[in-house]
Amino acid sequence: MHATINPVMHLEKYSKNIVLLGDSAVGKTSLIQKYVVDQFDDKYISTIGKKVTKKKLMLETPDGQVEMKLMIWDIIGQKGYRYSQATSFYNAKGAIMVSDLTKKETLDSVMGYWIPLVLRVLGPIPIIFLGNKADLEDERQYGLAEVEKVAESCEAFGYGRYAYLSSAKTGENIDIAFKKLGEILLEKYVPIKLGSVLQLMDKDEISTVKDALDHIMADFADQFGKMEYATPFLQHQLKISQVNLNNPTRSSVELFVNNLAIAEGLYKEAFRSDENRRKRLDILRYAKD
Ligand code: G3D
Ligand code: MG
């Protein structure tokens, strides 16, 4: 057998793409700026010109803290450029939808333009709604109740209803909004222990038996140490379990998992190899074909 074993890059699972959406001048770039570097600075905003900003977010889980890397996409351009806008968020797993509290029409276009666009491009994803520029109290044309009403219209997506009044100037509710979105995204993912490190596996990314096998081999290699040492070992186990890497059957992968556990039992404590066995059978269960 000469198949190359190609482990999934589990590190990618830490990164989540999110996007800020809303009419021009509602404060999207300012909110990202304030969240990432804690500054509200017009000069900087005009020069930043970046589409993606990275920010690390620490989240609590029952298995301890998890670090999530948010890749925050800022759309450039106004309403009406739906195709160019879609290119900057087609990969987003969640959105922060911004309207300007001093301009009622920006909330109307959340309903009339932005939500329909999200549904067309991404389908139902978690969305946090912000009524921004809360610091300009005298100019306010609507309040939290109206923003919540819009959020309510997306409750059917299944992620709850989240609406806040925010200000890129004072920082009000910005951290809370990003963190909430991070938490919702994390709930969609199943934390599994891979070796010593808690990593995140996206259930939705395991659609085939092949995907499951990929995760199982990566999990084994991760515990074994280096992939180059684990490879001959894995190839032997694949062979005796009659796994065809091009088209693995569920029963052959089950056998493979059991054989791996037997082999691991030779150098690991019994409860460890059994724990691995059960975990890997769980991974296989996520495969839909
Ligand atoms: P956009 O990225 O959605 O297009 P920007 O919006 O972040 O570029 O912001 C548009 C204008 O609104 C900027 O002012 C910015 O300073 C201002 N702004 C953004 N958020 C807030 C806020 O929370 N409070 C107040 N008072 N102003 C805000 P300029 O003057 O540069 O057009
Ligand atoms: Mg902008």
Q: pLDDT per residue over 41-85, tens digit each? A: 655 555 444 578 889 888 877 667 778 889 898 887 666 676 666
Q: Residue 248: is its pLDDT beyond 70?
A: yes
Cα 16–Cα 130–Cα 115 angle in degrees, nearest 5: 70
Is CATH 3.30.70.1880 the right assignment for the domain spanning 12-186?
no
Helix H or strand E encompassing 69: strand 64-74
Residue linked to tokens 């299944």: 158
Bridge partners of residue 21, in order along the sequence: 97
Q: Which atom of ligand 1 is nearest to the CA of 166?
A: 23
Q: Residue 252: is its pLDDT beyond 80?
A: yes
What pLDDT is recorded for position 47? 46
79 in Cβ contact with 23 (< 8 Å): yes
Instruction: For residue range 174-192, list pLDDT tens digits in order.
Output: 999 999 999 888 876 544 4
Ligand 1 centroid to residue 41 C-alpha, Å? 9
- What is the gyration radius of the CA atoms in the chain, in angstroms? 23
DSSP tag of 112: I
Q: Residue 14: is its pLDDT beyond 90?
A: no
Q: Which of 7-11, 39-43, 183-187, 255-259 holds the top average pLDDT? A: 255-259
CA distance linking residue 69 with residue 12, whole number of Å: 9
Domain with CATH 3.40.50.300 in the chain: 12-186
- Split at pLDDT 50, 70, 90, the class of 282 is confident
Ligand 1 centroid to residue 94 C-alpha, Å? 22
- Split at pLDDT 50, 70, 90, the class of 7 is very low
Tell whether ligand 1 has an atom less than 6 A from the beta carbon of residue 27: yes
Nearest CA to ligand 1 atom 5: 27
Ligand 2 centroid to residue 24 C-alpha, Å? 7
In the three-class reduction of DSSP (H, G, I as helix; E, B as strand; rest coil), residue 248 is classed as: coil
What pLDDT is recorded for position 130? 98
Q: What pTM was computed for the model?
A: 0.65
Tell whether ligand 1 has an atom less than 6 A from the beta carbon of residue 167: yes
Q: Residue 129: is its pLDDT beyond 60?
A: yes
- Split at pLDDT 50, 70, 90, the class of 16 is confident
Tell whether ligand 1 has an atom less than 6 A from the beta carbon of residue 42: yes
Average pLDDT over residues 211-223: 82
Helix H or strand E encompassing 86: helix 82-87
Average pLDDT over residues 246-258: 95
Tell whether ligand 1 has an atom less than 6 A from the beta carbon of residue 180: no
Nearest CA to ligand 1 atom 26: 133
CA distance linking residue 20 with residue 16, whole number of Å: 13
What pLDDT is recorded for position 12? 36
Tell whether ligand 1 has an atom less than 6 A from the beta carbon of residue 25: yes
Ligand of minimum distance to the alpha carbon of 79 = 1
